[in-house]
Amino acid sequence: MIFAWSIFDIVNNLVRGIILFELLLIDLKPFEAAIISSITASSLSYLSINLISQHIKIFSSSKERYKSMKIINSPLNIK
């Protein structure tokens, strides 16, 4: 989970900085550029953390975890 939050922060900060810089270059007002870059960066950051959490299956059910671990000779073996 720490890995996912680290990716969240990296994506958020990089995207916000890049978009803010580009919007200021096209002569958008600073307040508007900050709002647009913040909303866009947050959206992409939440998308990235969602994709990562689905990939590493943080919120999967216990049955799925046991099936994926392929526990043999265990009383918790779920079929």
**What tokens does 21 get?**
């810089």
- Looking at the chain, list the stretches that DSSP marks H as alpha helix, in order from N- to C-terminal side: 2-25, 30-56, 62-69
At 73 the pLDDT is 53
CB neighbour list of residue 45: distance below 8 Å, 6 or more residues apart: 8, 9, 11, 12, 15
**pLDDT higher than threshold 70 for residue 71:** no
At 37 the pLDDT is 97
Domain range summary for the chain, segments of one domain joined by +? 2-69
Cα dihedral value 42, 45, 51, 54, nearest 10: -80
At 72 the pLDDT is 53
Instruction: List pLDDT tens digits, range 9-59.
Output: 999 999 999 999 999 999 999 999 999 999 999 999 999 888 887 777 666
Please report where in the chains the tokens 């900085």 appear, as a residue: 17
